[in-house]
């Protein structure tokens, strides 16, 4: 008889816990609840075309963006699942202006804070294109038993103890890291379980895909414009021109580039000098995954995870993906901003 070996997310979490003899199981319990919320949101995403869940709910969120029904659904269900696990004292979400403190005894004693973008890529919901959820977990700084404080959330990305995303794509995946590499699980809908499918995800050191909303080209910094031209120029030796791929869902764009090798860029522009993406619940968790997979994540000048946050919904320019690609665009940005002369590994002349 053929032997089938399936490792479910929960089995994997429990086995990983054995590497930490002092662990009391609280963190495993929390990850288990992330998996539950992901399955609930996945169920709604999959039937989005069948029920009255598409379209806008009529509100705007703290960023002034219109909230879609699924944004609200995902937000409510993640908050609920994370609260129910009792390990988290407070949660911050893209969809809520301030963080939410869980005021029951069990949660007050929770050791962790949870940050999330419950539905990433919401402009793709109504057109059946991949969307995601991004999450980030920190150990709280405030004393256990007391109310969580803003300081618990304003920790640099280097203090994350776990981060990940759920990708609701042609299949649904949960990808996460606890600082020991990146692991991917694929949802098997027939058994309703996330099953281990990508034991150790490593991103190629260099890649051929660049992902950026080129519609904003005119407003990009000079270094980014130069990098795009570099990606487009013909060069047999370096296998250029590169391929341009942009879905408009950070999770989906990052996931593809993570596997194939590439760079995702959401730069600062003249009209948005800090870019669009949010440091705490979009860029930091993705940066943690990128670095754990051997890639890089930067704001063009310093690693994303070294930035000391100053507010919950802070935005930051974002450059992430294959190490060599991020390093090159950093060189170009710094050359143009600081007038620093950089020895580029290629010639830029004769480019159209
Ligand atoms: P969200 O749906 O959570 O607001 O995030 C959308 C983000 C991100 O997923 C994506 O990379 C980017 O916005 C796309 O922005 P543009 O449409 O400006 O390219
Ligand atoms: Mn988002
Ligand atoms: Mn969102």
* Structural domain includes residue 172: yes
C-beta of 67 in contact with ligand 1 (< 6 A): no
pLDDT in the model for residue 134: 98
Residue 128 lies in a domain: yes
The reply to whether 54 and 109 lie within a common domain is: yes
Task: Please give the sequence-ordered ranges of beta strands (E in DSSP) within the chain, or none if there are none.
Answer: 56-60, 66-68, 88-93, 100-101, 112-120, 131-139, 160-168, 172-177, 182-188, 193-198, 209-211, 243-244, 262-266, 296-298, 318-321
Domain encompassing residue 108: 9-198
Clarify whether residues 186 and 287 are in a common domain.
no
Whole-number Å distance between alpha carbons of 60 and 64: 5
- The residue whose CB lies within 8 Å of the most ligand 1 atoms, and thus the one to mutate among 249, 281, 316, is 249
- The CATH code of the domain that includes 316 is 3.40.190.80
Q: CB–CB of 325/217 below 8 Å?
A: no
Sequence-ordered strand ranges (E) for 142-261? 160-168, 172-177, 182-188, 193-198, 209-211, 243-244
Q: Based on the structure, what is the number of domains in the chain?
A: 2
Query: Are 249 and 120 contacting, i.e. CB atoms less than 8 angstroms apart?
Result: yes
- For residue 233, tell me if it sits in a domain: yes
Q: Which residues contact 271 (CB under 8 A, 6 or more apart)?
A: 219
pLDDT at residue 346 in the model: 62
What is the predicted pLDDT for the residue at 23?
81
C-alpha dihedral sign at 324, 326, 327, 328: positive
Q: Are residues 235 and 186 located together in one domain of the fold?
A: no
Q: Output the pLDDT for position 16.
A: 92
Question: Is the same domain home to 111 and 251?
Answer: no
Q: Is residue 251 part of a domain?
A: yes
**203 lies in some domain:** no
Tell whether 214 and 334 lie within a shared domain. Answer: yes
Residues 51 and 110 in one domain: yes
pLDDT of residue 53: 61
**Which residue, 141, 176, 198, sits at the end of a domain?**
198
Q: Where among 198, 224, 256 does a domain terminate? A: 198
Do 42 and 148 reside in the same domain of the chain?
yes
The CB of 320 under 6 Å from ligand 1? The reply is no
Whether 203 is in the pocket of ligand 1, judged by its Cβ within 6 Å, is no
pLDDT at 154: 98
**Is 123 part of a structural domain of the chain?**
yes
318 and 177, same structural domain?
A: no
Assigned domain for 77 exists: yes
Q: Looking at residue 352, what is its pLDDT?
A: 47
The answer to whether the CB of 163 falls within 8 A of the CB of 177 is: yes
Separation CA 85–CA 280 (nearest Å)? 22
The span from the CA of 189 to the CA of 193, in Å, is: 7
pLDDT value at residue 68: 72
Identify any residues that bridge with 100 across adjacent strands, giving them in sequence order.
91
Of 69, 66, 64, 25, residue with least CA distance to 47: 69
Please indicate, yes or no, whether residues 82 and 193 belong to a single structural domain of this protein.
Answer: yes
Q: Are residues 217 and 170 in the same domain?
A: no
CATH number of the domain that residue 97 is part of: 3.30.540.10
* Residues 155, 103 contacting (CB under 8 angstroms): no
Tell me: the pLDDT tens digits for 224-266? 999 999 999 988 877 889 999 999 999 999 999 999 999 999 9
In a domain, 347, yes or no: no
Within 10 Å of residue 64's Cβ, how many Cβ atoms? 6
Range scoring the smallest mean pLDDT among 143-157, 205-219, 225-239: 225-239
**Ligand 1 within 6 A of 155 CB?**
no
- Pocket probe for ligand 1: among 71, 78, 96, 123, the residue whose CB has the most ligand atoms within 8 Å is 123
Please tell me the pTM assigned to this model: 0.94
Residues 141 and 177 in one domain: yes
If asked whether residues 182 and 294 sit together in one domain, one would say no
Task: Give the end of a domain, one of 141, 169, 198.
Answer: 198
* pLDDT tens by residue, 127-140: 999 999 999 999 99
194-211, pLDDT tens digit by residue?
Answer: 999 999 999 999 999 999
């Amino acid at each position: 008889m053929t032997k089938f070996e399936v490792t479910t997310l929960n089995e994997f979490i429990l086995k990983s816990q054995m590497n930490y003899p002092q662990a009391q199981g609280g963190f495993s319990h929390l990850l288990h609840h992330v998996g539950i919320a992901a399955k609930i949101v996945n169920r709604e995403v999959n039937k989005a075309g069948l029920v009255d869940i598409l379209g806008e709910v009529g509100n705007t969120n703290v960023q002034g963006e219109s909230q879609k029904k699924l944004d609200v659904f995902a937000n409510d269900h993640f908050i609920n699942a994370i609260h129910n696990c009792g390990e988290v004292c407070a949660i911050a979400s893209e969809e809520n202006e301030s963080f939410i403190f869980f005021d029951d005894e069990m949660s007050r004693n929770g050791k962790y804070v949870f940050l999330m973008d419950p539905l990433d890529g919401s402009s793709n919901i109504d057109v059946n294109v991949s969307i995601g959820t991004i999450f980030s977990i920190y150990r709280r700084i405030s004393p256990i038993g007391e109310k969580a404080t803003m300081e618990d959330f304003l920790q640099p990305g280097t203090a994350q103890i776990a981060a990940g995303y759920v990708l609701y794509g042609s299949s649904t995946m949960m990808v996460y890291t606890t600082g020991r590499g990146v692991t991917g699980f694929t949802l098997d809908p027939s058994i309703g379980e996330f099953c281990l499918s990508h034991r150790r995800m490593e991103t190629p050191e260099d890649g051929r895909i660049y992902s950026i909303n080129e519609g904003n080209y005119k407003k990009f910094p000079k270094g980014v414009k130069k990098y795009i031209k570099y990606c487009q120029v013909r060069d047999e030796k370096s296998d250029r021109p590169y391929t341009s791929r942009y879905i408009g869902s950070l999770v989906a764009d990052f996931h593809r580039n993570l596997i194939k090798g590439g760079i995702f860029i959401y730069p600062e522009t003249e009209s948005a000098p800090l870019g669009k993406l949010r440091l705490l619940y979009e860029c930091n968790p993705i940066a943690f995954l990128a670095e754990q997979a051997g890639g890089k994540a930067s704001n063009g000048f310093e690693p994303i995870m070294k930035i000391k946050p100053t507010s919950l919904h802070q935005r930051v320019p974002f450059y992430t993906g294959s190490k060599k690609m991020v390093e090159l665009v950093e060189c170009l940005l710094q050359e143009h901003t600081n007038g620093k002369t950089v020895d580029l590994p290629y010639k830029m002349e004769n480019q159209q």
